[in-house]
């Protein structure tokens, strides 16, 4: 068996991109004040304000689970609830951290096949009960792009935020792959965040070329009150903050944040284009960002595993392939070739 040269099970299999690495090296040339009181952290926060064109408050956490959980906890009292979709990371992949850090705010889950929330689904959950016995709806969280790779348009986000405002709900965006959505939509980041009514964004760095790190961006700056204490209490205040902050400067100043995401999206489109429509193979979701989900016969997926390919099958039994800044065209083409060989072999009459 030849071992696949590169795996696409997750976009966090990738290493650190050169721009992030160089920025960390540059931050490593001298000592600097600790706990975020340094120039790198200041410059990184300013870079976010420049990118978004607004006076947002920015914080840096080690990972997305913490970023999401602490952001949601900042928006909620313990008796509040958070509306999310059934396949959202906060519901399925954070081990109860949003409930834990909010001291019990309940997640209200809307069934969603593709991971998207709609104004209708939000309204239905938010108005299902208004009595004292039910946790009071306070926040809506949407994932951009969704866990299934679907991208909300600016119009869809505006419609959701209009519903939120009408119902007195705050809007949080889990942007673990926010850059990939920007690359798909080719629009200014402001257009799909604060200008569309998003109050808080968790902007992912890890899946887009950084070693570690997510930024929590408060567009409604009043919501950021005491957030630094919340980070510290949760073990998320980096003492050598400059190494979480500097990579953002490297990514933004070089444009790599968008280039990396564009590359990853193109790689997903390349695989999808090569295998969609092969016998017994079909896409489980439209490919709108850096993920490809395929439905195929068990034998085909087993065949891919036997050839050494790794992939997740936790969403509806379909196989997921995800691409990052480092995906190589030859590796994608080899995967596509293997899918094709298996599909064609299985299609032949015995
Ligand atoms: C990866 C991911 C996160 C963050 O996960 P961590 O492992 O905690 O960094 C958050 N939301 C979504 C949708 C993700 O895919």
- Asked if 262 contacts 230 with a C-beta cutoff of 8 angstroms, the reply is no
* Two structure tokens written together for 291: 């993920």
Gap from CA of 8 to ligand 1 centroid (Å) = 16
CA dist 99 and 101 (Å) reads 6
Gap from CA of 17 to ligand 1 centroid (Å) = 19
- 294-to-184, 275, 321 alpha-carbon distances in Å: 20, 9, 8
Strand order in the sheet with 170-175: 57-61, 214-218, 200-204, 170-175, 136-143, 80-85, 106-110
Residues in the chain: 350
Nearest CA to ligand 1 atom 2: 176
* Residue 40 bridge partners (DSSP): none
Domains for the chain: give ranges and CATH numbers.
18-255 (3.40.640.10), 257-347 (3.90.1150.10)
CA dist 215 and 101 (Å) reads 17
* Two structure tokens written together for 164: 């939120």
Atom of ligand 1 nearest to the CA of 12: 1
* Residue 282 bridge partners (DSSP): 295
Task: Give the other-Cβ count within 10 Å of 34's Cβ.
Answer: 13
Give strand ranges (E) for the chain: 57-61, 80-85, 106-110, 136-143, 170-175, 200-204, 214-218, 282-283, 291-295, 312-315, 318-322
Digitized pLDDT (tens) for each residue of the chain, 350 residues in all? 678 999 999 999 999 999 999 999 999 999 999 999 999 999 999 999 999 999 999 999 999 999 999 999 999 999 999 999 999 999 999 999 999 999 999 999 999 999 999 999 999 999 999 999 999 999 999 999 999 999 999 999 999 999 999 999 999 999 999 999 999 999 999 999 999 999 999 999 999 999 999 999 999 999 999 999 999 999 999 999 999 999 999 999 999 999 999 999 999 999 999 999 999 999 999 999 999 999 999 999 999 999 999 999 988 789 999 999 999 999 999 999 999 999 998 877 76
- 35-to-40, 57, 180, 244 alpha-carbon distances in Å: 11, 16, 30, 11
Tell the residue number behind the tokens 């480092």, with chain if given: 326
Nearest CA to ligand 1 atom 1: 176
Nearest CA to ligand 1 atom 4: 64
Ligand 1 pocket, Cβ-based, cut-off 6 angstroms: 63-65, 68, 89, 143, 147, 174, 176, 206-207
């Amino acid at each position: 068996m030849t071992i696949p040269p590169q795996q696409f099970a997750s976009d966090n299999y990738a290493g650190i991109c050169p721009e992030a690495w160089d920025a960390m090296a540059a931050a490593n040339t001298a000592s600097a004040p600790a706990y975020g009181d340094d120039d790198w952290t200041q410059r990184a926060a300013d870079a976010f304000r420049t990118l978004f064109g607004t006076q947002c408050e920015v914080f840096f956490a080690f990972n997305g689970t913490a970023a999401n959980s602490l952001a949601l906890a900042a928006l909620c009292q313990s008796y509040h609830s958070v509306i999310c979709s059934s396949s959202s990371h906060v519901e399925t992949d954070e081990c109860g951290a949003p409930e834990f850090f909010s001291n019990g705010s309940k997640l209200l889950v809307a069934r969603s096949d593709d991971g998207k929330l709609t104004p209708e689904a939000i309204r239905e959950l938010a108005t299902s009960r208004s009595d004292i016995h039910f946790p009071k709806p306070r926040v809506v969280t949407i994932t951009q792009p969704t866990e299934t790779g679907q991208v909300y348009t600016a119009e869809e986000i505006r419609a959701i935020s209009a519903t939120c405002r009408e119902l007195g709900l705050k809007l949080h965006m889990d942007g673990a792959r926010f850059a990939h959505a920007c690359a798909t939509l080719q629009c200014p980041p402001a257009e799909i965040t604060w200008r569309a009514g998003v109050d808080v964004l968790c902007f992912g760095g890890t899946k887009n070329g950084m070693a570690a790190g997510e930024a929590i961006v408060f567009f409604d700056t009043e919501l950021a009150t005491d957030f630094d204490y919340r980070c510290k209490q949760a073990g998320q205040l980096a003492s050598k903050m400059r190494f979480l902050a500097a990579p953002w400067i490297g990514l933004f100043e070089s444009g790599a944040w968008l280039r990396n995401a564009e590359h990853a999206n193109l790689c997903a489109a390349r695989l999808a284009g090569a295998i969609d429509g092969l016998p017994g193979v079909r896409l489980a979701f439209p490919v709108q960002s850096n993920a490809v989900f395929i439905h195929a016969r068990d034998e085909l997926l087993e065949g891919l595993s036997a050839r050494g390919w790794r992939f997740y099958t936790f969403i509806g039994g379909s196989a997921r392939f995800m691409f990052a800044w480092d995906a190589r065209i030859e590796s994608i083409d080899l995967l596509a070739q293997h899918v094709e060989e298996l599909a064609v072999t299985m299609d032949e009459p015995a």
